[in-house]
Amino acid sequence: MTDHTEIETWAMVRAQQIVMQQGANLVVAAQRLDHKKTTANTYALRAAIVKSLVEALSAAPAATLSQMHPAE
């Protein structure tokens, strides 16, 4: 991922995928008042978010990372 627009597009698509897959499962479990599935889906949502952040950091070039977190 080298272009800023490319990164933004990837982030929006990935966020939409996470919400559609994991978020929908969480909503359904909560609506059904299923505590075990709600808890499991909460952890699955968290894991999907962490995985996407790790993926973004591993794919981003060093120059992009330095722009995201400039040295103080």
Q: Where are the domains of the chain?
A: 4-65
Backbone φ and ψ for 33, nearest 5 degrees, come out as 55, 35
pTM of the model: 0.67
E strand or H helix that includes residue 3: none
Identify the pLDDT of residue 59: 77
How far apart (Å, rounded) are the C-alpha atoms in residues 68 and 56?
12
Q: Which residues contact 21 (CB under 8 A, 6 or more apart)?
A: 48
Per-residue pLDDT of the chain (72 residues; tens, 9 = 90+): 457 788 888 888 999 999 899 999 999 999 999 999 999 999 999 999 999 989 888 876 654 545 555 554
